[in-house]
Amino acid sequence: MLWKRALFWGLMPLAAPQGLHLKRTAPRFAPAPGAREGWVGEGPTLRLLAVGDSVIDGVGCPSIEQALPGHVARQLAARHGRGVHWQAIGRTGACVGELVEEVLPRIPVAPRDLVLVSVGVNDVSGLTRTAHFRDRLHRLLDGLQSRAPGARVLLCGLPRMQHFPLLPQPLRYAAGVRAQTLDAIAADVAIAREGVLHEPTTYVPRPDEFAPDGYHANAATQGAWARILVERLAGRWTPGGLDGAGTLPGMSLRPRSPA
């Protein structure tokens, strides 16, 4: 990764002015509307918590149900034959340090089965140092695992930012290199921690599969990404926690509205 770090910082004299210009001129989309909590599917309850940046906040999607948290909930319900109680706690524009300082305190301690985490893109644009990213990611995971004891944590890989239509060259190339560097750190962090998985993002959207801002994935693309995540997760994790009555301890089956 050393050569990628050197390349990224070497491109900064050209890329930084482009980044500053985009901060002033790029379109700003609001988080998706809709309740940040819901139920989908039927059967024993599986509890999903989604935490992170604008991906979790649904930016670029017409509703939170059509963003990554809602898509993942539906995919989990379909694959495992379970009812899924899902909750999304996101903050648009947050880097990993801001998730630690501002989002973690909003998360109560509660039983969960799976915690989905999206973080890193804003650390690319915010020029977070690699050592700080690693340290704060550990702190974020410490907080999540203490608030969801026993849950499996899934770190979503950073997207391939070299394909973001909004970004001009060489900023686009520099962002892609930096995203790869931070994603490699996230993978190392996951390997070092019990109960944490990292899934690299291999889906590369076409330019027409982005939201109109050219930066966030649209609803269909997030659905495709969710399918891949859940398919790969199924080979690495099987939800458990069923008691003799066929429900999760502390949870009861009840009518649910679709996500």
Number of domain units in the chain: 1
CA atoms within 13 A on the CB side of 139: 17
For residue 97, pLDDT beyond 70: yes
Residue 96 inside a domain? The answer is yes
Flag whether 79 is in a domain: yes
Find out whether 19 and 84 touch, Cβ atoms under 8 Å: no
CA distance 71 to 155: 16
Q: Is residue 239 part of a domain?
A: no
pTM (2 d.p.): 0.89
* Averaged pLDDT, 242-255: 32
Q: Which domain holds residue 112?
A: 2-234
With 70 as the cut, is the pLDDT of residue 249 above it? no
pLDDT tens digits, residue range 159-168?
A: 999 999 999 9
Asked if residue 240 belongs to a domain, the reply is: no
CATH of the domain at 162: 3.40.50.1110
Residue 251 lies in a domain: no
Q: How far is CA 197 from the centre of its chain?
A: 12
Q: In Å, how far from its chain's centre is CA 256? A: 25
Q: Which residues of 162-173 are buried (b: 16+ CB within 10 A; e: fewer)?
A: bbbebbeeebbb
Q: Does residue 258 lie in a domain region? A: no
pLDDT digits (tens, 9 = 90+) for 107-138: 999 999 999 999 999 999 999 999 999 999 99
Residue 187 included in any domain = yes
For the packed helices 68-80 and 219-234, what is the interaxial angle rounded to 10 degrees?
A: 40
Residue 183 belongs to a domain: yes
